[in-house]
Amino acid sequence: MTRTLILMRHAKSSWGDPGLSDHARPLNKRGRASATALGNWLQAQGHLPDEVLCSSSERTRETLARLDLSAPATFTDALYHAEPERMLALLQAATGDSVLMLGHNPGIAGFAQWLVGHPPAHERFSDYPTGATLVARFGIDSWKELRPGAGRVAGFIIPRELTT
């Protein structure tokens, strides 16, 4: 069986209100446009999750809403600035065949690098900018079987490639 992970960093957030906590920051105008474009790209490519694991922050929630996907979502504080090891534990508990995990850097960049045996030839993969999205496939029957480097890249995109 094949499992698919869509690993996405939240879209560009606003720093416009210094009174907001980091957790409460919303998307900015560019981030809102990017999230919509990413959702359109996922749908056009047929990368549709059947489960979503999403950080509880405002910017990840808003990114997910603008993707316009119909999969059930779990919002968790555990993904807020999670390290790769925590992200792995959360993914290993997932039950979907195709999971969208929506989180933050620096953990998400490290997790992406840990997941794939051969990273995409993309200059931005290592720093995983806002909105960066990896689609990786795994020849496993359960997320519990996930091992380092087992992922095969099926796609990688950044919002700047979708919006002009």
Q: Which distant-in-sequence residues (6+ apart) come within 8 Å of 110 by Cβ?
A: 83, 84
Q: List pLDDT tens digits, range 63-100.
A: 999 999 999 999 999 999 999 999 999 999 999 999 99
CATH class (in words) of the domain with range 3-161: alpha beta
pTM for this one?
A: 0.96
Distance (Å, rounded) from C-alpha 107 to C-alpha 125? 13
| Higher pLDDT pick, 109 / 15 | 109
Cβ distance 5 to 127 under 8 Å?
no
For the cut 70, the answer to whether the pLDDT of residue 164 exceeds it is no
User: Which residues face 9 on adjacent strands?
Assistant: 103
Q: List pLDDT tens digits, range 117-158.
A: 999 999 999 999 999 999 999 999 999 999 999 999 999 999
Distance (Å, rounded) from C-alpha 128 to C-alpha 94? 23
Q: Where are the domains of the chain?
A: 3-161
* pLDDT band, residue 163 (cuts 50/70/90): low
